[in-house]
Structure 1
Amino acid sequence: MEMLAKELRDNGLDAIYLGPSTDLEYISGLDTHPDERVRGLMVSNDGRCFAMTPLLYKEEMVKAFGDVPFYAEWNDHEGFTGAFKRGCEHLGIVGGKIAFNDGVRAVDMLAIRDEMDMQMFGGGKILDPLRSRKDAEELEIMREASCIVDAVVYKLKDFIRPGMTERQIAKKIPEFFEEAGSNEMSFGPIVASGPNGSMPHYGGDQRVIEENDVIILDLGGRHKGYCSDTTRTLFVGTPTEEQRKVYEIVRQAQEAGEAAVKPGATGQDVDRAARQVIIEAGYGEFFFNRVGHGIGLAVHESPYMIEGNDTPLEPGNVFSVEPGIYLPGKFGVRIENIVAVREDGTGEALNHFPRELTTVRSTD
């Protein structure tokens, strides 16, 4: 709360309102999901706060927030705007500069605007400087989360066989996570086989796995609130010469991206190091997204490994390095590790499933 208050002062803001989101979870420990009943936490630039709660959620909110000085309570029949105004009056921020994070619906912001005087600002990045620097406890949790997802990939390697559908494999992934120690997914897993692998965020699941297929597996689970994320590309049977060539280029690109994490490096440096390998190999047009994203309580958060990000990486930053080559109508290859920045500025790979070309048995 003290660090958040300082960020507000540094940004010239009087307060920030955090709706249901990973921001709210980071500050309070409350993991809740947005719905039409407005709830959350308002934090002022002097560290004071009020909790916004419908009576329906009051017990849950009090359990999470404890002795918050003021609860702005509201009932279904009266609506939330009056309670919101009372909370702002309690903090003395009516008419002030108030930021709203991305856990707040636009329609609710408009209702607040019509009810009371304030200057509204986007607050989606206010907590980035805090959340992007993981402390020792957070880093250890993320190491554990990465070990869990590695274990799931090993299970999938032994499970996958020709004749299965992508859906059959995807449905098995949550079960494997639970067996490995995680009962919540970071995101819906991607199982992209054959020509479907050329679509980086492929969303289908009906194709049947065939002999000599290339399969992209992108998956992650939450552990103690923190996300894991990894991608491995597996081969069914014997890869073709072209498949081997593309895989080796991506492997070298991923390795180069990790190696670029050193004192003074930026997100742009990591992106360029991985991308250059693919460009020099003649496949630059088939890699069209950023190299990586930060990860923590959210699967995508600051910092981003992308052209234009010239902010130096800091100890405690945790992010993915995941170059790929996507050949339309043929296949795709992606390899992803999560990397943490050590105190000396170098990178620590949190995933340990081999990056070398891996095949699954084509027949039982």
Structure 2
Amino acid sequence: MFLQRRMRRVRSRTIQPLLCETILTRNDLVAPLFVDETAGAPVPIGSMPGQSRYPIDGIAAVAGKFWEHGIRAVLLFGVPAHKDEAATSAYDPGGVVQQAVRKIKTAYPGMVVITDVCACEYTSHGHCGIVGDSRCGGQDLLNDESLLLMNKIAVSHAEAGADIVAPSCMLDGMVRSIRTALDQDGYEEVLILSYSTKFSSALYGPFREAAESGYSFGDRTTYQMNPANGREAFLESQLDMEEGADILMVKPAGPYLDVLAEIATLGLPVAAFQVSGEYAMIKAAAERGWIKEKETVIEMLTCIKRAGADLIITYFAYDACGWLE
């Protein structure tokens, strides 16, 4: 019987590039960087081979290396010298992230600098804001008290020159609160990239080593998303859009492409964070020869984009940028 439809016709090696539906480019990639206030030299991160915490004085040179390689955006995480229950170092004008922003923007004004707005690296207990007695009993993150802290952090980052602030604490009302604080202080042009759907994932372990942000009691399941809940995940991002977010985010990326695809239908730009655990798993398997690192990374990043991501935050940004040449 003669075949009317031969799907293999469009897969010839000469035709494939013309019909490729999803093209991954350097402009899709955002590089996360850790800045350590106590470091005098790069500190390798054991669970994330190839990644380091960088000293403040060296962060502009690191950003420069990424800039020359084709990366146009970085996401900064700070490791402070001082921690306390109120996370006072997080909004200090001379804090680790604030210093890093100034150095990068002075050296490379065109680099888009995104700052993580949270308190887990800065609190002595490791939770993402102000902790107190909850109505359910025991200690837990206090929502409205923590909003005031996020406002201070976001404004301090904007004052330092951040282009985009990225609240990651999953507090109710955080986008509206931060937007109001930024606008009142004259930072109407600073964007908010909201970690609008951040799951309480088992894949954050290497990050907590890197950022020294492990928590001393309880867990984060009362403010981060249950991985089992898709409708709730969509609603979280929808609410942040209504509160004024400029960009939404799904974190982690790979296991939640169904959620990413649905959130992309809201119409706002969407970022996806390929998190530390995703990075570590690929690295570990590649080191053992079980998979090919380059091919695996490009496949996964392409699939994240295909699902709807406009930006992909990935620890593979530097390597992927080279592979895409």
Q: Is TM-score (shorter-chain normalized) higher than 0.5?
A: no
Higher helix share: 2
Q: TM-score, normalised by structure 2?
A: 0.29
Larger RCO: Structure 1 or Structure 2 (Cα < 8 Å, ≥ 6 residues apart)? Answer: 2
**Rg larger in structure:** 1
